[in-house]
A and B are shown apart, each in its own frame.
Chain A
């Protein structure tokens, strides 16, 4: 196991170590993951109740409800990713350990992305069932949209979770700062998902994927560059 790690370059190895550490913590507390998934499904149910039993409307907006459920769950998930460490005083330990702050960011952001991908895929089944939606496009493209959409949430989300981790009112501040930022990401993810669910006659999905890719490229680089200052603060 450690033999494979030593072949990786130093920074990448640190990212993988942080990622494994975070995923291990989440796995040990997997009851929390269940709770988060049930919360997301509850949100989906709430949308059906708020809109009413109009199958046509629900089917057309299934993609929007899915991403809003992911977004609402993401603040709980992101907030937790630093909470454990701040409460246990482990963040100082990590900073003192010979881990690059940027590696800490990319490890945590990757861990959050993987968890959000899992969440999105898990609630896809109830989404398809509840809203009587079918997948018109290919599942592979759906997976690409899920990966890019959740990655777009988790890069600025991880940065802001770290930024607000030691502040009062962090439960309010994180969504206040994060949600307006995510507008282009949400817009593109919802549009692409809706097109994949209902059919993409004009072949518009690629242009939304391009926007998602641009959003990800921007925030995975900017947030990675800024994160060391977040940890110092």
Chain B
């Protein structure tokens, strides 16, 4: 039992509470009626997906800066979790859009940005699979992650201008405390679960990467490569 297992368990308990409250206790949304309940699952997923992918950006900066495999493993763990959460987010979004807007897909800035974010990070994970040399893989993954992540604000504003006629659906004025509680609980639940999963994945990936690199925990300087080969 490590601490992240406890965090994972707490997360699942909180998620059950938050979702239960959202499903059965929260008042029905005036405009969206039952469909409004989707937001208690959807909005926390959106926050956590963005948090996870933001973490992978910082991990990529760390990996490129230090050359340490700890950061490299963190990039993969967070990117992988973030990609799955973003895919879930898009599915939830289209399931929310169908009863409210009448169609599954809309070129809403947030929806479109999430879709592009998903494709960008799938690209990062694919290119990571292709490179077998651990040191080169660290660099390639980190660069692809940084280049992909800095695109996010530009994509968002670009799509926003492109679809400038579209209505915004966030409605803080209709959110009262009975709606905030389940939302907040579910958000912390998703955060705990995602962080725990990232940490579990991080340990596994780090073990694999360090086994692949013959010299564990060496800084990834090109000069050290020859040293690592001499040990064999």
Q: Which residues of A contact B (CB under 8 A)?
A: 156, 159-160, 163-164, 167-169, 173, 176-177, 180-181, 183-184, 187-188, 191, 207-208, 211, 214-215, 218-219, 222-223, 226, 229-230, 232-233
Contact = CB atoms under 8 A, between A and B. Distances in A.
Contacts of A215: 154
B207 interface: no
Given A222-B150, A223-B147, A226-B147, A187 B139 contact: no
Interface string B21-62: 000000000000000000000000000000000000000000
B193 interface: no
A233 B151 contact: no
Given A233-B136, A233-B140, 15 more contacts: A163-B127, A163-B144, A173-B130, A177-B148, A183-B159, A187-B158, A211-B157, A211-B158, A215-B154, A222-B146, A222-B147, A226-B143, A229-B142, A232-B222, A233-B135
Interface in B100-152: 116, 119-120, 123-124, 126-127, 130-131, 135-136, 139-140, 142-144, 146-148, 150-151
B147 A176 contact: no
Contacts of B151: 181, 183-184
How big is the B interface, by class? 20 to 34
A166 B14 CA distance: 47
Given A168-B130, A181-B151, A218-B150, A188 B139 contact: no
B158 A183 contact: yes
Nearest to B67: A229
Contacts of B222: 232
B120 A187 contact: no
Contact of A177 (B127, B146, B158): B127
A142 to B, nearest CB: 20
Nearest to A190: B162
